[in-house]
Amino acid sequence: MGKPTGFIEYKREVSTDVSPKNRIKNFDEFHEHLSLVKQQLQGARCMECGVSFCQSGIQLSGMTTGCPLNNLIPEWNDLLYKGNMEAAYKRLKKTNPFPEFTSRVCPSPCEAACTCGYNDSPVSIKENEYTIIEYAYNVGYAKVAPPKVRTSKKVAIVGAGPSGLAAAEKLNKRGHNVTVFERNDRAGGLLMYGIPNMKLEKHIIERKINIMKEEGVNFVFGANIGENMAGSDLLEQFDRVILTCGASNPRDINAIGRDATGIHFAVDFLKSTTKSLLDCNLKEGTFISAKGKHVLVIGGGDTGNDCVGTSIRHGAKSVTQLEMMPKPSEERLPSNPWPEWPKVLKTDYGQQESIAVFGHDPRIYQTTVKEFVKGEKGEVKAATIVQLEWKKNEKTGAMSMVEVAGSEQTIPVDLVLIAAGFLGTQSYVADAFGLKLNPRTNVITKENSFATDIPNLYVAGDMHRGQSLVVHAIREGRDVAREVDLSLIGYTNI
């Protein structure tokens, strides 16, 4: 270990952010990162614990703690501190094919599990990762490296999200001939069209995709299996087929007036903005605009926050964000001990920007929509919202959220964005291959396997496990690649 007392000598220091009122003028990333020298000192804070919970990737109380990729965090923190950047990059890439993505959008369950965080601030693992991968690109470590030997095996991957891309990179590195089929016009899945540009600039994705293309991965865009391509054709033309189509069914809400115009799913709103930004820098007006509108965001998670930040950049007149659950505590409760994921109040970038622009936090807790009020042309013009409270069912004893009588209020609304999560696999994709779904609408696979009952057909990512973190998707892509490689060759080194 390079600095046994580093966690005592150096305090946690992270990147600064461009002020909210300045960063909302564009859709650029807004973090001002530390210098390499300062980031190396942050690497010195890593204690190289006897039990490194940061690497665990386990479930505690139903929440992920530690890295699901089992990244070798103490090793590359130490190498960063010592200035051995090439070795740090190689150790980072050994488990994570896309640190340029995770260092920007991962919620950092590794930091939540960091031993330093038990009674102090955790190591800045995410920003250490960012420094290593961006340094590697700048000096040429992250260069094109195609496989030296090719096999005769052909693998089709349906879906170019993080899971599909991870499987593609691993199988291509093994020398198999990989073709990725993507229904959109660009690769990345939710990384491209579900996460706004200010969290992950899209040239970062394209930089990696271009490397993968040069290394031999073939991408086919506009290929919507089950719509303009038959699943049977893929099974006939390829030795193995992997489905990584995500959990793409957005969860709807049931309220009077739901059929009013001006009500959209968050993913459609965010995609329209990013696509227009990339295609024409928002000049053609081909996106769902929040400009001059009273915006209601339904959902308090990361996607809801992204809708808040995007709406403010459009020039919204006001933004209100509804959250059904109670307001979290500002500090850990005794019932939520380390190293569990901390269930504490988080004010993210979108909420920060709303506070700066409108003077208040947009979130209203324990509240939902009871009715959408329509205008003369069927457009949404207001929403009746109602407070909720936890109550026990006297017959069953189960706790549930119920309306608080007399708590209704009506607010002006011109645009509604539903950010209530995703339900699972889109049925037409499963139907294209004759796949069965479980009650959660995830594809059923063999026990402890990614293989389906259909020969040579595999499934991974959110389509397999349900909506989850980007690191879980990458892990599934990495693991399905290992299983497919083993089935093709008889052994694997993935």
pLDDT of 292-319, one tens digit each? 999 999 999 999 999 999 999 999 999 9
pLDDT for res 210:
98
Span 5-20, average pLDDT? 95
* Local confidence band at 96 (pLDDT 50, 70, 90 cut-offs): very high
Domains of the chain (ranges, CATH numbers): 6-139 (1.10.1060.10), 154-249+423-489 (3.50.50.60), 263-418 (3.50.50.60)
What's the CA gap between 209 and 187, in Å, rounded?
A: 7
Predicted TM-score (pTM) of this structure: 0.95
* pLDDT, average across residues 19-28: 98
Predicted pLDDT at 248: 86
Question: How confident is the model at residue 397, as a pLDDT?
Answer: 84
- Beta strands 380-392 and 363-365 are unpaired
Q: Establish how many alpha carbons lie within 13 A of residue 12's alpha carbon, considering only the half-sphere containing its beta carbon.
A: 15
Asked if 251 and 367 count as a contact pair (C-beta separation under 8 A), the reply is no
Summarize pLDDT for 255-285 with one digit per residue, the tens. Answer: 999 999 999 999 999 999 999 999 999 998 8
For residue 358, give both structure tokens: 């409108």
What tokens does 418 get?
């539903």
Kindly tell me if the per-residue pLDDT of 3 is higher than 90: no
The mean pLDDT value for 231-247 works out to 96
- The whole-number average pLDDT for the span 388-393 is 90
CA distances from 129 to 18, 39, 234 (A): 21, 10, 37
CA atoms within 13 A on the CB side of 100: 19
- Indicate whether 51 pLDDT > 80: yes
> For residues 475 and 355, what is the distance between their CA atoms, to the nearest angstrom?
36
pLDDT score of 73: 96
**So what's the pLDDT on residue 1?**
60
Q: Mean pLDDT in the chain?
A: 96
For residue 223, the Cα-to-chain-centroid distance in whole angstroms is 23
Please, what's the largest Cα pairwise distance for the chain? 71
pLDDT at 2 (0 to 100): 59
φ and ψ of 314, to 5 deg: -70, -30
Task: For the beta carbon of residue 335, count every other beta carbon within 10 angstroms.
Answer: 9
- Above pLDDT 90, what percent of the chain? 92
> Each residue of 116-125: pLDDT tens digit?
999 899 999 9
